[in-house]
């Protein structure tokens, strides 16, 4: 088993080595293991499904072209997510535009069971959280995505982003506070007095 | 002896990322420092919200696109910026002419459709509420609790409109004449107030529908950060929010350079509250017959 993040994708032994020897089937297995992780980050970062697809393709193309450079004593996850982080940043610079506030992120159909009103509220809350995250500055947003979508530790996030663990903590502090302030109406009434509008 | 504040470590503490000794130090500090405790509460709220992020599945066709790129390395990468293509002037003019012709035909067809089959487009608000909108919602909660202080007690719709105009320069979209009591629903106009939040002035008008409070807030459209659609040729566009904890709904729309936010607990999306503003019988019938297109 490769050195992947706790709770993250699992690769069969030897897949990485086979990829580095040009085995296309092994690369397909690698793609299948990580495609949702990469796409999720790209989608939340860009707020746009089309752009997320572009970023995802670019990530795996870079992975394919550079996998021989991966040292197997390092963490593959942090190496991969550094590629993802760089690809997201590159895309943002290339397009040089504001991130749309979520209108193009497609929602999954809510699960049956709760009332229509509860489902609508949940869908609204989910969309609002995504939009609020997408509106964060990239250096605050990426630690949020790496932590909550991939379960990376602060040390791993620091390695991906090329900063200190303390910087990761500070950035997450800022991001958590921004989310709490932007999304105050979505918190239970009893806690609303604790928001800082 | 004073100990330094622990703001920098609060997210790490919430995530269990601190070493045991550091975690104990932060816990001890939080027990005696109200400022850091308040900050920690806010961070925990942000953590809870961020935990709502969910993974999405990559589209199935992505692998084929990647494989094509791998097999044909000479092809331009997908993520390159779009290249601008120049078109001949004649070709551009021909396409413009066709487009204009099609637009004229479409306006004719759609205009006819609007008369016979009006559509109200309803979509979920795309961005989190602004500070102004949040303040408006909190005023509605005060209204529901009976704690809202009105500055103008309604006598007639005409007097209320004049009061709002005089104090804010805004138009209150309230019709003249007594609202009609139909289908057992009784409308009662209550009054208005002016409020200011985050440097933005708004007018609040409230009425009841079968004793259930409806709160309408309006401000200049230019004050609203997220664009609200104005009435189009074919349909009026609303966006909405649902506040599930309280069962309240909010409808949002724009008209003549003003943005409107209506809060209520009336059924569905709260559109029955709109009937108060439309005392013309034909328009009220049309509202009831309107097709809500949920986007």
Band of residue A192 on the pLDDT scale cut at 50, 70, 90? very low
Whether residue B52 and residue A102 make contact (CB cut-off 8 A), yes or no, is no
Give the residue with greater pLDDT, B189 vs B77: B189
What confidence score (pLDDT) does residue B222 get?
82
What per-residue confidence (pLDDT) applies to A107?
37
Which pLDDT band, with edges at 50, 70 and 90, does A140 fall under? very high
Cβ-based contacts of A61 with chain B (< 8 Å): 66, 69-70, 77-78
**Whole-angstrom distance, CA of residue A189 vs CA of residue A87:** 40
pTM: 0.53
Residue-wise pLDDT tens digits, B1-22: 455 888 999 999 999 999 999 9
Q: Side by side, which strands form the sheet with B152-153?
A: B152-153, B187-197, B200-209, B212-220, B258-264, B248-255, B235-243, B119-124, B291-294
pLDDT band at A34 (very low <50, low <70, confident <90, very high): very high
The answer to whether B264 and B273 have CB atoms below 8 angstroms apart is yes
Identify the pLDDT of residue A194: 37
What is the per-residue pLDDT for A99?
42
Find chain A residues with C-beta within 8 A of B15's C-beta: 147, 154, 172
Higher pLDDT, B225 or A136: A136
For the record, the structure tokens of B184 come out as 């057992």
Least Cα separation, residue A107 to chain B (angstroms): 9
Tens-place pLDDT, residues A57-93: 999 999 999 998 888 777 899 999 999 999 998 887 7
Residue B77 clears pLDDT 60, i.e. is over it: no
Q: What is the DSSP string of A118-154?
A: HHHHHHHHHHHHHHHHHTS-HHHHHHHHHHHTT---H
**What integer pLDDT is reported at residue A90 of this predicted model?**
87
Task: Give chain A's end-to-end CA distance (angstroms, integer).
Answer: 47
Quickly list DSSP for B41-99: HHHHHHHHHHTT----PPPTTHHHHHHHHHH-TTSPPTTSPPPP----HHHHHHHHHHH
Q: Using CB atoms and an 8 Å cut-off, which of residues 148-177 of chain B contact chain A?
A: none
Residue B265: Cβ-neighbour burial (10 angstroms; 0-12, 13-18, 19+): middle
| A35 within 8 A of B58, measured Cβ to Cβ | yes
Q: How confident is the model at residue A129, as a pLDDT?
A: 86
Alpha-carbon gap, residue A142 to A81, rounded angstroms: 10
Most confident region among A86-100, A116-130, A135-149 by mean pLDDT: A135-149
Give the integer Cα–Cα distance in Å for A86 and B118: 48
Chain A environment of B78 (Cβ under 8 Å): 54, 57-58, 61
Q: Can you give the pLDDT at residue A131?
A: 84
For residue B81, pLDDT over 50 is answered with no
Mean pLDDT of B143-158: 86
Contact A39/B244, CB-based, under 8 Å? no
Report which of residues A6 and B67 the model is more confident about. Answer: B67
CA distances B271 to A48, B157, B213, B215, B287, Å, are 31, 20, 13, 12, 9
Which of A2-16, B81-95, B141-155, B213-227 comes out lowest in average pLDDT? Answer: B81-95
**CB-based contact, B292 to chain A, within 8 Å:** no
Q: What's the mean per-residue pLDDT of chain B?
A: 76
- Residue B61 pLDDT > 70: yes
Contacts of B288 (CB under 8 A, 6+ apart): none
Select from A60, A125, A194 the Cβ nearest to the Cβ of B66.
Answer: A60
Average pLDDT of the residues in A141-150: 95
Checking if the pLDDT of B80 tops 50, the result is: no
Residue B255 confidence (pLDDT) above 70: yes
Chain A touched by B295 (CB under 8 Å): no
Contact check, Cβ <8 Å, A154/B137: no
Cα separation of A185 and B215, whole Å? 16
| Cα–Cα distance measured from residue B205 to residue B168, given in angstroms and rounded to the nearest whole number | 12
CA dihedral sign, ordered A92, A97, A99, A102: negative
Nearest CA in chain A to B47: A176
Task: Give the per-residue pLDDT at B79.
Answer: 40
* C-alpha neighbours within 13 Å on the C-beta side of residue A133: 34
Contact A29, A46 (CB under 8 A): no
Question: Which among B237, B248, B10 is positioned nearest to B124, based on CA atoms?
Answer: B237
- Do the chains contact at B242 and A120, CB–CB below 8 Å? yes
B267 burial type by CB count under 10 A (0-12 exposed, 13-18 middle, 19+ buried): exposed
- For residue A149, give the nearest of B15, B53, B79 by CB distance: B53
Q: Is the pLDDT of residue B191 over 70?
A: yes
Residue B200 parent element (H or E): strand B200-209
Chain B closest CA to A62's CA: distance in Å?
10
């Amino acid at each position: 088993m490769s050195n992947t993040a706790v709770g993250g994708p699992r690769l069969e032994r030897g897949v990485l080595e086979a990829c580095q020897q040009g085995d296309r089937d092994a690369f397909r297995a690698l793609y299948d293991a990580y495609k949702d992780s990469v796409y999720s980050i790209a989608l939340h970062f860009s707020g746009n499904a089309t752009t997320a697809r572009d970023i995802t393709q670019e990530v795996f193309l870079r992975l394919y072209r550079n996998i021989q450079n991966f040292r197997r004593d390092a963490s593959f996850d942090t190496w991969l997510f550094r590629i993802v982080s760089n690809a997201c940043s590159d895309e943002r610079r290339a397009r040089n535009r504001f991130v749309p506030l979520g209108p193009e992120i497609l929602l999954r159909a809510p699960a049956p069971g709760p009332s229509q009103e509860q489902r609508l509220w949940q869908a609204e809350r989910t969309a609002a959280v995504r939009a609020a995250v997408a509106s964060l500055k990239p250096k605050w947003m990426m630690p949020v995505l790496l932590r909550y979508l991939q379960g990376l530790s602060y040390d791993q996030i620091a390695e991906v982003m090329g900063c200190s663990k303390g910087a990761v903590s500070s950035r997450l502090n800022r991001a958590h506070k921004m989310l709490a302030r932007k999304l105050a109406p979505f918190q239970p009434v009893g806690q609303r007095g604790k928001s800082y509008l | 002896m004073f100990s330094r504040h622990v703001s920098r470590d609060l997210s790490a503490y919430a995530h269990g990322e601190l070493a045991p000794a550091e975690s104990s130090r932060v816990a001890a500090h939080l027990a005696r420092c109200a400022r850091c405790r308040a900050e920690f509460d806010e961070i925990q709220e942000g953590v809870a919200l961020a935990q709502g992020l969910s993974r999405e599945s990559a589209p199935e066709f992505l692998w084929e696109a990647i494989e094509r790129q791998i097999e044909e390395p000479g092809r331009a990468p997908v993520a390159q910026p779009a290249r601008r293509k120049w078109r001949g002037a004649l070709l551009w003019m021909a396409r413009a002419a066709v487009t204009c012709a099609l637009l004229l035909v479409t306006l004719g067809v759609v205009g006819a459709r609007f008369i016979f089959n009006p559509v109200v487009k309803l979509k979920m608000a795309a961005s989190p509420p602004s500070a102004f909108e949040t303040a408006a919602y909190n005023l509605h909660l005060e209204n529901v609790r009976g704690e809202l202080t009105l500055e103008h007690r309604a006598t007639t719709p005409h007097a209320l409109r004049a009061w709002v105009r005089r104090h804010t320069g805004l138009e209150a979209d309230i019709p003249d004449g007594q609202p009609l009591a139909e289908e057992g629903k009784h409308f009662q106009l209550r009054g208005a107030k002016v409020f200011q939040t985050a440097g933005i002035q708004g007018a609040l008008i409230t009425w009841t529908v079968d004793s259930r409070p409806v709160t309408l807030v309006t401000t200049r459209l230019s004050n609203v950060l997220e664009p609200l659609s104005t009435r189009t040729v074919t349909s009026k566009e609303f966006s909405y929010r649902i506040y599930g904890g309280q069962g309240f709904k909010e409808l949002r729309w724009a008209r003549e350079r003003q943005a409107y936010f209506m809060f209520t607990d009336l059924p569905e999306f709260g559109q029955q509250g709109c009937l108060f503003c439309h005392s013309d019988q034909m328009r009220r019938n049309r509202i009831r017959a309107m097709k809500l297109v949920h986007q």
